[in-house]
Amino acid sequence: MSSHALLLRRHSVLPGFNLSLGFALLYLCFVVLIPLSAVFLKTFTASWDTFVATVTAPRVVASYRLTFGASLLAALVNGVFGLLVAWVLVRYRFAGKRIVDALVDLPFALPTAVAGIALTSLYAANGWIGSRLPFKVAYTPLGVFVALTFIGLPFVVRTVQPVLEDLQRELEEAAATLGASRLQTFAYVVFPALAPALLTGFALAFARALGEYGSVIFIAGNMPMISEITSLLIITKLEQYDYAGATAIAVVMLVSAFALLLLINLLQAWVRRRQGR
Amino acid sequence: MSAVIDSGRRAAVERAGARPAAAPAVPDAIGEPAWVRRALIGVALGFLTLFLFVPLVSVFVQALAKGVDVYWAALVQADALSALKLTLIAASVSVPLNLVFGVAAAWAIAKFDFRGKSVLLTLIDLPFSVSPVIAGLIYMLVFGLQGWCGEWLRDHDMKVVFAVPGIVLATVFVTFPFIARELIPLMQAQGQEQEEAARVLGASGWQILWRVTLPNVKWALLYGVILCNARAMGEFGAVSVVSGHIRGQTNTLPLHIEILYNDYQFAAAFAVASLLAGLALVTLVLKYIVERRMHASAEPEKSQ
The pLDDT tens digits for A77-116 are 999 999 999 999 999 999 999 999 999 999 999 999 999 9
Q: How many residues are given for chain B?
A: 304
User: Rounded mean pLDDT of B165-169?
Assistant: 94
**Residue pLDDT, tens place only, A210-259:** 999 999 999 998 888 889 999 999 999 998 888 889 999 999 999 999 99
Nearest to B190 by CA among B215, B214, B216, B209: B216
Give Cβ neighbours of residue B115 (< 8 Å, ≥ 6 apart).
A8, A9
- pLDDT of residue A117 exceeding 60: yes
What pLDDT was estimated at residue B183? 94
pLDDT band of residue B7 (cuts 50, 70, 90) is: very low
User: Rounded mean pLDDT of A139-165?
Assistant: 94
Are residues B196 and A111, on separate chains, in Cβ contact within 8 Å?
no
pLDDT band of residue B31 (cuts 50, 70, 90) is: confident
- Out of B104, B137, B269, whose CB is closest to A39? B137
What pLDDT was estimated at residue A8? 60
- pLDDT of residue B147 exceeding 90: no
What pLDDT was estimated at residue B14? 44
- Within 8 A of A117 by CB-CB distance, chain B residues are 257, 261, 269-270, 273
A157 and A86 Cβ atoms separated by less than 8 Å:
yes
Determine which helix (DSSP H) or strand (DSSP E) holds A11, and give its type and residue range. none
Q: Give the span between the Cα atoms of B105 and B127, in whole angstroms.
A: 15
pLDDT band of residue B299 (cuts 50, 70, 90) is: low
Angle, alpha carbons A242-B127-B89 (nearest 5°): 85
What pLDDT was estimated at residue A16? 87
In angstroms, what separates the C-alpha of A53 from chain B's closest C-alpha?
A: 20
Q: Give the span between the Cα atoms of A79 and A203, in whole angstroms.
A: 10
B135 and B231 Cβ atoms separated by less than 8 Å:
no
pLDDT band of residue A276 (cuts 50, 70, 90) is: low
Q: Give the span between the Cα atoms of B23 and A93, in whole angstroms.
A: 10
> Taking the model in full, what pTM does it have?
0.88
What pLDDT was estimated at residue A266? 87
Looking at this protein, which amino acid is placed at residue A155?
F
**Residue pLDDT, tens place only, B89-111:** 999 999 999 999 999 999 999 99
Least confident of A65-69, A201-205, A265-269: A265-269
- Within 8 A of A104 by CB-CB distance, chain B residues are 48, 52
Residue A267 at interface with chain B, using a CB cutoff of 8 Å: no
pLDDT band of residue B24 (cuts 50, 70, 90) is: low
Q: Give the span between the Cα atoms of B231 and B127, in whole angstroms.
A: 13
**Burial group, residue B12, by CB count within 10 angstroms (0-12, 13-18, 19+):** buried
Size of interface A-B (CB pairs under 8 A): 316
**Adjacent-strand bridge partners of B1:** none
In angstroms, what separates the C-alpha of A33 from chain B's closest C-alpha?
A: 8
What pLDDT was estimated at residue B236? 95
Give Cβ neighbours of residue A123 (< 8 Å, ≥ 6 apart).
A129, A130, A133, A137, A138, A143, A146, A219
- Out of B51, B131, B287, whose CB is closest to A253? B131
Are residues A12 and B273, on separate chains, in Cβ contact within 8 Å?
no
Residue A165 at interface with chain B, using a CB cutoff of 8 Å: yes
Decide if the complex's ipTM is over 0.90: no
- Give the DSSP letter of residue B114: B
In angstroms, what separates the C-alpha of A147 from chain B's closest C-alpha?
A: 9
